[in-house]
Amino acid sequence: MVFLHSDWNPGLGDRSDMTDLDRVLKRAIDAGAAAGVVASASSREGITYLGAAGKRRIDEDAPMTTDSIFRIFSMTKAIAGVAAATLVERGQLNLDAPVADILPEFADLQVLEGFEGDTPILRAPRRQVTVRQLATHTSGLVYELWNADIQKYLAVTGRPGFLSGTRIGISYPLVFDPGERWDYGVGIDWLGLVIEKISGKRLDIFCRDEIFVPLGMSDTGFECPPNKRGRLAGVHARQENGALVPITLDPPSSPEVYGAGYGLYSTARDYMTFLLMLLNEGRYNGAQILKPATVNYILQNHIDDLEVVNLVSVNTAVTCDAEFFPGMSKKQSLVTMINMEPARGMRAAGSHCWAGALNTYFWFDPLNGIAGVVLMQSIPFCDPLCTDVLVDFEKAVYARMMAAA
């Protein structure tokens, strides 16, 4: 049995308009893409669709519901970028300041050039990393999931990885000099420490006070408390035969360092509220989080002539190769990736997106005033069955828009 539940805004179309979106979710479950899925779409005015299908865990009977809670992993990064932007707007944070001027321990990070046997070859970087480079993945810090040298470095040094929730767990060496290229890594976790140092608040408290409470995002936070864990979706791993099996994979609880790049729990409704704030120039639910000029600034291209590139997996159990819209020019804002060309039947040029490691996805399209969220909970990341759900849902959302025009 496929459980299916959805809500819709009758002012934006009758029930027949919504069944196409419901069918996308049902097909996803029938195809074995996920145990369960929640998806939402919005116009600039508010949520137009919120639906769920399948089950929270493949081995239990509880249905997936629209208020289910998800580990959103790297969808956290956009929220951290907005948190940093509040400090920029207030004149408290300079994006071009060297990180080491704010966090002196950052000066200890060196560039990894290779190995002599199992001994890392390290040197000083040719220039200092700036706060902007942390936010735009141009600092030289990368994840071990897509870089064999960092994977080896952690193995031969015995250091923990970023999911340890420790300072040493994000103290990777750089793999290129700052500003040389775009590559994806733990820079946003360091940005979280910058936010803490400048604001004088822990990251979880700062985000709660400045973003979540004002916007009414009551199910979003860096911990999932006991009274909400009954709504928490289960995590699954794809096996070689295509089957999904339950696993445990949570951000660390009460860590030394909350992961600004990966640590949040949220719901589709809450995250859509955050996207609606960005679509509405910093204001939603009666709260002005950022000024319109600040939103416009942070959503611009901040990597000049550099390009967002394909991430080639070195740990295929956890992630597939990852690239949105291969062959298309893509840039990086302070909070998102930007597609510089239109995607046929989907988002316009200048749209923004990102994703989380357990196959959670979002996009928002300022030109058309549309946003979407698709949430699942499984590895590997960018599983083709899961990305097909994203594409099918997005195409259905834009087909509805065109039909209503």
Spatial contact of 33 and 388, defined as CB atoms under 8 Å apart: yes
Spatial contact of 43 and 9, defined as CB atoms under 8 Å apart: no
The span from the CA of 394 to the CA of 311, in Å, is 23
Cα 376-154-259 angle, rounded to 5 deg? 45
Give φ, ψ of 195 to 5 degrees: -60, -45
The token pair that represents 204 in the structure block:
């979880």
Catalytic residue among 184, 258, 265, 271: 184
Integer angstrom CA distances of residue 396 from 19, 144, 305, 345, 399: 10, 35, 33, 9, 5
Cα 18-20-23 angle, rounded to 5 deg? 115
Catalytic residue among 77, 139, 199, 266: 77
Catalytic residue among 40, 42, 68, 74: 74
The span from the CA of 10 to the CA of 14, in Å, is 6
The span from the CA of 318 to the CA of 356, in Å, is 12
CB neighbour class for 248 (10 Å; exposed up to 12, middle 13-18, buried from 19):
exposed
Is 74 catalytic? The answer is yes
Is 254 catalytic? The answer is no
The span from the CA of 309 to the CA of 104, in Å, is 31
Spatial contact of 367 and 352, defined as CB atoms under 8 Å apart: no
Is 266 catalytic? The answer is no
Spatial contact of 198 and 102, defined as CB atoms under 8 Å apart: yes
DSSP states along 219-234: T-BSS--GGGGGGBPP
Give catalytic residues, as residue numbers: 74, 77, 184
